[in-house]
Amino acid sequence: MKDHDISRRGVLSCMAWGSAGVLWTMAGGVPVASVLAAGGDKMNKAGAFSFVQISDTHIGFAKDANPDTGLTTRAGIDLINRTAADAALVLHTGDVTHLSRTGEFDQAAELLKGLKPTELHVVPGEHDVLDSTQTNFFDRYGAASKRKGYYSFDHHGVHFIALVNVMEFKPGGQGRLGSEQMEWLEDDLKGRSASQPIVIFTHIPLWLYEGWGWSTEDWPQAMSYLKRFGSVTVLNGHIHQVVQKVEGTVSHYAAASTAYPQPKPGEGAGPGPVTVPAENLRSVLGIRRIETLPIKISDSSLA
Amino acid sequence: MNRMLLLAAMMLASAAAHAGNEVQVTIKSFAFGPDSIEVPAGTTVVWVNKDNEPHTVVSDGKLFHSEALDTDERFSVTFDKPGTYGYFCTLHPHMTGKVVVSGK
């Protein structure tokens, strides 16, 4: 439990509740969240493991901001294979493809086959369900959820929840989970021990910035089911940049894309691909490794 | 000569707009421009996506529904009945617009 060494790391703030706490520390300038689980709980028995997040590969996109997203996605996969080959699983947080086309999904599947960690979980981004029947995504990644997109599973004592917030949009709205998924979530969490760590992975941020639709409008209701849990980690994509935000016991982590960057929330005319000099592109793209027990999140650029 | 042709083309375009035949809405920087238009019945509204990001044009009541429009792709709807038609982009639902159709 060497990560309990608070003074060495320079703690920004510390919150504690029940039997668990979260430490925000600065390691090399990058904030790192560490879940401090008290002795004897599920995580300690289960032991440490790591997993990986890859996001917004946008296979099929080929414009100035990145003429070859296949190449940069392959670079992301190579980085995972070099630095996280032992990861227990890989989470893809959506926008696998740019336009939901069959050829794009085929290319993405071919690339993702190259991952050394073989357990892959995928939630759809809005770019993955553009075809009117939405079969391209669900034929490939719908089995675990019976084609609903949302599902949960346990791994090493951690409860993983895949949420879909790109299929229930309303005019003028944000990302939305919708009532059917909300009922499922309430049921999924019912009776679960509050000390079990929860990891939610989804596409659009659940709580970030409403101005560009970078938030989820019915998240507060979901939050009401989750607030009794000691440790909730949200991993999302959509905004193509690393952003972290803390909401009580819930920590939100937006991830980088392997395709192209987007502006900071609210900066400039609107969201969308940002073109950087070609030699700098890989420094603004990345993948993420998450180590648990304790939870450590490290974002790595491709350069 | 070129100038004459251009002038003629402009006059035709202008005449077409006045006849209520065709009006363009440009999709740029994640916004419909103009986001609200008033046209006489019988007008065809053409949306053109000028973003490097796909968008859709979908009426609030699902009266019309475009496919995802990639850069420079277009979608058009002819409005025959007066009324107010709200629409949005189903990929980025904060993008909204409306077409107000008046009687001829």
Tens of pLDDT, residues B54-79: 999 999 988 999 999 999 999 999 99
CA–CA gap between residue A96 and residue A103 (Å, rounded): 12
Q: Is the peptide bond before A263 cis (omega within 30 degrees of 0)?
A: no
Per-residue pLDDT in tens (0 to 9) along chain A, 303 residues: 333 333 333 222 222 222 222 333 333 333 344 333 333 333 333 457 889 999 999 999 999 999 999 999 999 999 999 999 999 999 999 999 999 999 999 999 999 999 999 999 999 999 999 988 899 999 999 999 999 999 999 998 899 999 999 999 999 989 999 999 999 999 999 999 998 999 999 999 999 999 899 999 999 999 999 999 999 999 999 999 999 999 999 999 999 999 999 999 999 888 999 999 999 999 999 999 988 766 678 899 998
CA–CA gap between residue A75 and residue A250 (Å, rounded): 31
Contact A219, A177 (CB under 8 A): yes
Q: Do A272 and B29 touch (CB under 8 A)?
A: yes
Nearest-Cα residue of chain A relative to residue B61: A171
ipTM: 0.75
Mapping DSSP to helix (H, G, I), strand (E, B) and coil, where does residue A66 land? strand
CA distances from B4 to A102, B7, B14, B55, B58 (A): 48, 5, 15, 37, 40
- Alpha-carbon gap: B93 to the closest alpha carbon of chain A (Å): 5
How confident is the model at residue A303, as a pLDDT?
85
Residue A249 structure tokens: 């016991």
Interface of A with B (CB under 8 A): 63-65, 98-100, 126-127, 130, 132, 169-174, 210-213, 269-273
- CB neighbour class for B95 (10 Å; exposed up to 12, middle 13-18, buried from 19): buried
- In this structure, the strands spanning A232-236 and A250-254 are parallel
Q: Mutating which of A63, A97, A99, A126 best tests the B interface, going by the most B Cβ atoms within 10 A? A: A126
- Alpha-carbon gap: B45 to the closest alpha carbon of chain A (Å): 19
CA–CA gap between residue A157 and residue A141 (Å, rounded): 24
**Nearest-by-Cβ selection for B93 from A100, A172, A271:** A172
CA–CA gap between residue A250 and residue A229 (Å, rounded): 9
Contact A116, A194 (CB under 8 A): no
Q: Do B54 and A99 touch (CB under 8 A)?
A: yes
**Nearest-by-Cβ selection for A270 from B29, B54, B96:** B29
Q: Do B54 and A172 touch (CB under 8 A)?
A: no
CA distances from B57 to A124, A173, A218, B25 (A): 21, 15, 24, 11
Contact A297, A32 (CB under 8 A): yes
Q: What is the pTM of this model?
A: 0.82
Residue A300 structure tokens: 């790595």
Nearest-Cα residue of chain B relative to residue A274: B52
Mean pLDDT over each residue of chain B, to the nearest integer: 85
| Radius of gyration, alpha carbons of chain A | 18
Q: Is B32 on the interface with A (CB under 8 A)?
A: no
